[in-house]
């Protein structure tokens, strides 16, 4: 079922995921079929798990280098706190704010 109508397409949920449904017409203008394209504007728990696993896989080789251990020994507790805070802030922007702004832009373009 269409949730939002647009001039040449509609947005529908298929299996709980958002898709763009574009009608394909013949030369007479009759709709023959629809093209279904998934929209990747929502973040789900499986996406979050994939992000965390990917980050862990990429960070393990770096954390095992001597340079990382030497840097960790030399950093003060305050600087470690600042780095942790910046890391969490950046993750929040990428994981929460960015997808939310994308969905807002999508809903504005639908109207």
Q: What is the pLDDT along the chain (111 residues), one digit of tens a residue?
A: 444 444 588 888 888 888 888 888 888 888 888 888 888 777 778 888 888 888 888 878 777 788 888 888 898 999 989 988 888 888 777 776 666 666 555 555 555
Together in a domain, 92 and 110 = yes
Together in a domain, 47 and 100 = yes
With b meaning 16 or more CB within 10 Å and e meaning fewer, what string describes 17-29? Answer: ebbbeeeeeeeee
Together in a domain, 55 and 84 = yes
Together in a domain, 27 and 46 = no
Asked if 22 and 8 touch (Cβ cutoff 8 Å), the reply is yes
* Domain extent for 103: 42-111
Together in a domain, 110 and 57 = yes
Whole-number pLDDT of residue 3? 46
Together in a domain, 97 and 56 = yes
Together in a domain, 72 and 108 = yes
């Amino acid at each position: 079922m269409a949730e939002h109508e647009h001039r040449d397409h509609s947005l529908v949920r298929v299996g709980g995921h958002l898709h763009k449904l574009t009608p394909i017409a013949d030369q007479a203008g009759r709709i023959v079929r629809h093209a279904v394209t998934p929209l990747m504007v929502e973040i789900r728990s499986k996406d979050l798990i994939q992000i965390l696993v990917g980050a862990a896989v990429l960070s393990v080789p770096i954390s095992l280098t001597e340079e990382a251990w030497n840097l960790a020994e030399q950093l003060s507790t305050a600087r470690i706190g600042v780095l942790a805070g910046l890391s969490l802030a950046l993750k929040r922007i990428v994981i929460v704010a960015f997808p939310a702004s994308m969905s807002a832009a999508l809903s504005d373009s639908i109207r």
